[in-house]
Amino acid sequence: MKHDLNKIIQILEEDLSNKRILVVGDIMLDQYFIGQVNRISPEAPVPIVNCNQEENRLGGAANVALNLKKLGCNVTVIGLIGQDDNGKTIEKLLLDEEIDHLLIEHDLPTTTKKRIIANQQQIVRVDIEEITTLNVEVQDQIIDSVISQLKETELVIISDYGKSVCSERVCNYTIKESNRQGIPVIVDPKGPHWKKYSGAKYITPNMKELEDAWGQTINNDHESITPVCIQLKSKYNIDNIAVTRSEHGISFFSHTNSDHYPTEEKEVYDVSGAGDTIVATLTFALLNELEIEDAIYLANLAAGTVIEKLGTYPIIKDELLLHLQSVDKGLRSKIHSKIVDNEELTELLVQWREAGDEIVFTNGCFDLIHHGHITYLEQARKYGDKLIVGLNSDESVKVLKGASRPIIKEQDRALMLASFSFIDAVIIFEDMTPANLIKLVKPDLLVKGGDYTVDTIVGAEHSKRVKIIPFIDGYSTTNLINHIQSLGSKSNV
């Protein structure tokens, strides 16, 4: 299916600060405690996580708002927080991101998800929450907040995580009043009770949420979900249903349309927040009058980007633009686009840091790439979100390795490295050491292979952390060259 990439890119490049969106729903705090597991507890058969990093991120409806903000929209979020430190943390995060908010304090604890992550894997999640039916007074406060914002709003999102805010009364009023004022409502649903979403313009369930509404298991194929969606649309007077089907993409149903839109195959690190990204991007696209096939394509692309990252991350407009601008140039262009100079790398660093990515840097000659190199680089990438590889130029390799090296020219070595999905950027440097390049990058983690010590690693002072990965025994370019030469000698005997 062809898409109007020029139209999508044009919209993404526009100033959209005049587009105001209201998000109503369950606000959460996502906390991450990140570290390494090196031993098992003597107290119980559980891993001990040596935590060296803590992060607080916006979750739930607040993450939907953050995605919209990163796409360039003007957004206001309405929800509840507790009278506790986690509530204050959410307020600070919203202020830091310059997201307008109307937060109602409540005597319930702030909904919080604590995730313990070790070696890039989630070990356990601890939820702090108390789900209850809100009293009429609190519901009135939410409704009054919605009323105060609708006159300046072009589209409303109801982000329901089943944490109390999106009661039937709040949802029904928000949808009814929005419809009266000609404002479309998009619902990200939760639970089996879709009556409260009656009259919405769009609803975006995943397969589990669709099954909850239907009351039984549904096969994850377009043929099976089609009659279900048609009946649910009619039953609840909902104009459009977009079903997110994980790796199978998105199926869309309207009065005149019933289509399936596949997604690109991606390496999945974490699906946290992917649904938030889909509803936010779909809202952004529809608000800017993209055709539905282009809107869903963009939402699929955005979700595919965030699931490659660890934890809850918003989509960044520049990331989407970078991908879109290379889509129609084919795979080879995508590979070439990873090979950057200092200026291009600086731009990427700004984008990645704005997205909250952990940046890993390593360097080497990588002449005659072998299994040892690949294993080392794959492992390095797992310590962060983006891996930059500094590649010695041909001239520097000659000085380091001798006049007969390199075997493979620098551009070809760079192209081979860039073809690996776990490498995000390759930059060739002319200096004898990568010190100046590391100073430019200022990585979160500097990775070296072999038997170095931290005090002997060039550029360590410009990195937050240093990690040494042992090489795999028996693999080296020198050994490989010697083996090839010995085979040549034998053939001449």
Burial bucket for residue 343 (CB in 10 Å: 0-12, 13-18, 19+): exposed
Q: Which two tokens stand for residue 436?
A: 């100046």
- Report DSSP letters for 50-87, one per residue: EEEEEEEEEEEHHHHHHHHHHTT-EEEEEEEEESSHHH
Note if 96 is an active site residue: no
| CB contact at 8 A, 162 and 124 | no
| CB contact at 8 A, 404 and 451 | no
| CB contact at 8 A, 328 and 5 | yes
| CB contact at 8 A, 167 and 140 | no
Q: What are phi and psi of 102, to 5 degrees?
A: -125, 95
- Report DSSP letters for 18-51, one per residue: T-EEEEEE-EEEEEEEEEEEEEE-SSSSSEEEEE
| CB contact at 8 A, 427 and 390 | yes
The residue annotated as part of the active site, out of 26, 188, 276, 367, is 276
Residue whose C-alpha is closest to residue 287's, from 201, 176, 411, 191: 201
Residue whose C-alpha is closest to residue 413's, from 369, 373, 363: 369
H or E stretch covering 305:
helix 292-306
* Residues marked as catalytic: 276
